[in-house]
Every structure is written in structure tokens, then in C-alpha cells.
Homo-oligomer: A and B are copies of this chain.
Amino acid sequence: MSLRLILKRSYSAGKKATTMAGSNEKFTKVFNKIDELTPKFVDRLAKAVEIKAVSGDELLRPEVVKKAHFLSKQLELLGFEDIQLRELGTQPPPVNNPSLQLPPVVLSRYGSDPSKRTVLVYGHYDVQPASIEDGWDSEPFKLVIDEDKQLMRARGSSDDSGPLLGWLHVVQAHREAGVELPVNLITCFEGMEESGSIGLDKLIAQEAKGYFKSVDTVCISDNYWLGTRKPVLTYGLRGCSYYEVIIEGPGADLHSGIFGGVIAEPMTDLIKVLDSLVDSQGRILIKGINEMVAPVTEQEKKLYDDIEFSLDDMNEASGSETCLYKSKSDILMHRWRFPSLSIHGIEGAFSGSGAKTVIPARVAGKFSIRTVPNIEPRKLDKLVIEHCQSVFESLNSPNTFKAELIHDGDYWISDPFNASFTAAAKATKTVYGVEPDLTREGGSIPITLTFEKELKTNVLLLPMGRGDDGAHSINEKLDLSNFVGGTKTMAAYLHYYAESKEK
């Protein structure tokens, strides 16, 4: 396959960037080198995604570890120093193998000049599960280049191996172009992000005054553009509080022919509790939650007007016309700054195809609330659990009830005009020729908050991929122009951040 030929056509972002940054010789050199090295970068990504680093599959844990070693080797080749594969111990239950080791965090440094600022870059090398049987157009653990669409398809291409390698490529381009990296870089690459980042919080806290002591800012490249056309910087994330309501009745699953009508069925009670949580228009029915939400200011309202997004984008993303709102600002506000409640499913009930006449003995309903400023997590827990308890009590059922928080992560919001965001905005303008949209996201990246709290620094979310990359879905892809443009943006960001006056 003539990769070189294919890639030549994908350099639109690159060419534009070179022109935009024409006044800056460093940028020209680095960007030209990124263009030149792109086939090598694609090759490195191809090698990376071939390793089946699925953190959620215990049997594939050796592959996750193998990928950590692969990265370590690449970092070494590119001149990174103090490379450490930090072990996090055994994985806590629930696990099948009680001695299962967590994959290591890959720490490394590039440069340690005390006169330079230090940027910690975070990425994750583990991936979501994938199998061609799920409906992929090609083997998910083999990078396939779609010449027509100018994209690279593979599990991990966009989430998050492509962006993670971006930082290595920035360093390689500087070295080979003979341009000095304007900052000290520290990498923090984890292998458990898709499985709750187990162990990373603790490591960050431990190294706040150790490996990460000199860090001035943190840049995470593990999210996406809002749409497919315009680059964004992300300054807010909703949190997530995940609950379960467990209702238990008979000692074992029963036959509905024999017991139907005489036994208080746990499913009946659970459905009634779940029904009380949210209405079909997405309104949360638990009292006191909406009251905690920060009011929308006039200033904020205007922010939504300029963002490139439409109802059509939403419908395309959901593959349906089931959006609850028609206007751009309503959609974005309900996605970013209002809470939502989703009922995910029921554990213990019949879930197969066909018909089974079972009365499940113990059912656990799962739902989560996406949290936003100024919802207080502990107050939320109290409201949710007391609400469920009160609905259950009103049923007068002989079954037993329990409601509990399974896990939570707080919301995050940053100042989108601080030095790091400003540098990233300039970099975006330089590479893509447009001001990035300032976005928030509906999902949570809990590690964002950990970095902010433990290192007492700002955190920037600088996405490389597009909104339609299919990160957790089939046919995950990364557009070649995003791979190239994203890497250039990372490079330019480091320069602008180094030059900025304020930290």
C-alpha cells in the first residue's frame, strides 16, 4: 500500500499550519518535520494498536503490560529519561484472579531545565474491548487506512493511543528538526483508564511532591471535538454519581406459574422505584436536585451562540431523531451544565432473548446522575437514597430494600482563559486557522480533578480526534488530518505556553 501517497493528500491541516506559522521559523521547521515523519508516526501507531491492551479483560492483562513496555522502549529511543514503569499492586476485587497485577503507569521526563516550565502530559494506553463480530468493517486490532475517507481505523486509534503518541511525535519532530523543546515534559501514561483508573489517584498523590514536583500545568488529550469540523478546547466536565437500588424477596428465583399472584415480586417494586426518578422529558423527579444547580447567567447564555453545533449534528451523533430539545443552546446546556438521570439496567432479572417465566428473587436497578456545579455529592446521595427509600416504603411491600452509591466522580470546571487555555487557543488558530470553540463535555474524566487537586495546577483538555471517532463503539477511527493537525497543535501549544507571561 502506498502509504506515502495516501498520506500526501491528508496534509491540508499541515500545509495550512505551515503557512499560518510562516512568520515563526521554529514552527515551520517543526511542522514540516511532522509532515515528513507522518508515515513513521502512522507506523508507530499501527504497532501500538496491534497490542490488545484491553484493561477490562483479565485474560488480556499481559497484553496491557506488553504495551507499557512498548511505550517505554519508544520513549527510550526518543531520548526521554528517568523512564519508570510504576507498579500499582494487585487489582482489588471484584476480580477472577485475586493476584492480578494492575498495569504499570509509564512515567518519563524529556528535559529538566529549571529555567523552563514543566508540562505533565497524560494519556492512556489501554483500550476498550473490541471484536470483529461486533460489526467492525475490519479487524479492530489492526490499523487499516481508508484511502477514500483519509482515516485510520483501529481500536485505540483515537482513544487514546493516537493522542498519547502525539506527545512522543512532538518530541521526535523537535529533535529531528533541530528545534529545542521549549518546556520540560513529564509523561504520565496509564493502562487502566477504561477500567476506572484504579491506583492512579494514589500514585498522583504520592508523586505530587516527588516525580511531579515541578509540574506547572497538566494537559490531557483524551477527549474529542464537539463535531467533525471545528477544533475545541474543553473547560468543563459533568460528574457522575452511580447508584443501585436492590430489592430482595424470595430465597431463590421462582416460577411465575406457581408463585405469580401470591408473592410480592421484587421486580414490581423495583420498577415502581425506578419509575419515580425521571420523566420521559428527562426531568429529574427527585426533589432538591435541580435546586442545587447553578443558575444560567446572561453572559453564559451568549457563550452557546457562537459554538458550531446544530440539532442535525445531535441527530447524526445519536443516529435518531429523539433529541428532547430543538435549539442549539438548549441541547448544549442539557449536555454540559444541567444534571441528567439515566436508568442503565437491572441486574438479576431475565435479560436474554425469548421468554422465561421467572420471578427474579433479587434485582438491582442501576442508574446514574450526571452532576454539575453546584451539586454537592454527599447531599445528592442523601436526596437520592431518601427518595428511593420513601417511594419503596409507600409500596407497603414485604420485600427488603437497599439503595446505595456505587461510585462517583465530581464535576470539573476550569477558567478557559488561563495561560494554558490561551496557549492552546493560539496553537489551534495557528494550525487550523480558526479560534477553537470552548466546550464542556457531558461525560466525566475523574483524573482531571485528581491532577488539579493534588498538583494544585490548572488542567487543559486538548482533544485530537473528532466527535464521530466512535471511541467506545465499532469502527473507531482517527482522521489523518486530525492525527497530523493534532500533533502540530500539541507542539505549538508547548511553545505558546512557554512564552506566556502568567502560569
The answer to whether B353 touches A94, judged by C-beta atoms less than 8 angstroms apart, is: yes
The answer to whether B346 touches A345, judged by C-beta atoms less than 8 angstroms apart, is: yes
- With known contacts A94-B354, A257-B370, A473-B252, A279–B275 Cβ distance under 8 A: no
Please tell me which one of the listed residues B257, B264, B271, B347 contacts residue A240 in the complex, with CB atoms under 8 A apart.
Answer: B257
Q: B-facing mask of A253-266, CB < 8 A → 1, else 0?
A: 01111111111110
Please tell me which one of the listed residues B268, B278, B444 contacts residue A280 in the complex, with CB atoms under 8 A apart.
Answer: B268
Q: Which of A242, A351, A442 has the largest number of chain B CB atoms within 10 A? A: A351
The answer to whether A443 touches B257, judged by C-beta atoms less than 8 angstroms apart, is: yes
Residues from chain B with a CB closer than 8 A to the CB of A399 are: 322
Asked if A114 lies at the interface with its beta carbon under 8 angstroms from chain B, I say no
C-alpha spacing A334/B280, complex, angstroms: 34
Q: Which residues of chain A in 294-353 are interfacial with respect to chain B, using CB atoms and an 8 Å cutoff?
A: 314, 317-325, 331, 334-335, 338-347, 349-353
Interchain nearest-CB distance for A252 vs B (Å): 6
The answer to whether B269 touches A282, judged by C-beta atoms less than 8 angstroms apart, is: no
Residues from chain B with a CB closer than 8 A to the CB of A251 are: 318-320
The answer to whether A282 touches B258, judged by C-beta atoms less than 8 angstroms apart, is: no
Residues from chain B with a CB closer than 8 A to the CB of A441 are: 257-258
The answer to whether B344 touches A350, judged by C-beta atoms less than 8 angstroms apart, is: yes
The answer to whether B318 touches A263, judged by C-beta atoms less than 8 angstroms apart, is: yes
Q: CB within 8 Å of B: which residues of A?
A: 94, 238, 240, 242, 244, 249-252, 254-265, 267-269, 271-272, 274-275, 278-282, 314, 317-325, 331, 334-335, 338-347, 349-361, 366, 368, 370, 395-399, 406-407, 441-444, 472-473
Query: Which residue of B is nearest A344, CB measured?
Result: B350
Q: Which of A263, A267, A281, A355 has the largest number of chain B CB atoms within 10 A? A: A263
Please tell me which one of the listed residues B258, B260, B342 contacts residue A265 in the complex, with CB atoms under 8 A apart.
Answer: B342
Query: Which residue of B is nearest A406, CB measured?
Result: B355
Residues from chain B with a CB closer than 8 A to the CB of A346 are: 345-346, 349, 351
Query: Which residue of B is nearest A243, CB measured?
Result: B355
Please tell me which one of the listed residues B260, B340, B396 contacts residue A342 in the complex, with CB atoms under 8 A apart.
Answer: B260
Please tell me which one of the listed residues B325, B370, B407 contacts residue A355 in the complex, with CB atoms under 8 A apart.
Answer: B407
The answer to whether A342 touches B359, judged by C-beta atoms less than 8 angstroms apart, is: yes
Residues from chain B with a CB closer than 8 A to the CB of A351 are: 345-347, 349, 351
Copies of this chain, complex-wide, total 2
The answer to whether B269 touches A280, judged by C-beta atoms less than 8 angstroms apart, is: yes
Residues from chain B with a CB closer than 8 A to the CB of A355 are: 242, 244, 344, 366, 368, 406-407
Residues from chain B with a CB closer than 8 A to the CB of A331 are: 262
7 residue pairs bridging A and B, Cβ less than 8 Å apart: A258-B335, A261-B340, A261-B442, A344-B356, A344-B360, A345-B360, A357-B368
Q: Which of A94, A259, A274 has the largest number of chain B CB atoms within 10 A? A: A259
Query: Which residue of B is nearest A254, CB measured?
Result: B318
- With known contacts A252-B319, A314-B262, A351-B351, A344–B267 Cβ distance under 8 A: yes
Interchain nearest-CB distance for A367 vs B (Å): 9
Interchain nearest-CB distance for A258 vs B (Å): 5
Interchain nearest-CB distance for A357 vs B (Å): 6
Residues from chain B with a CB closer than 8 A to the CB of A274 are: 271, 275
C-alpha spacing A472/B356, complex, angstroms: 12
- With known contacts A322-B398, A346-B345, A334–B269 Cβ distance under 8 A: no
Interchain nearest-CB distance for A483 vs B (Å): 22
The answer to whether B263 touches A323, judged by C-beta atoms less than 8 angstroms apart, is: yes
The answer to whether A264 touches B358, judged by C-beta atoms less than 8 angstroms apart, is: no
The answer to whether A322 touches B264, judged by C-beta atoms less than 8 angstroms apart, is: yes
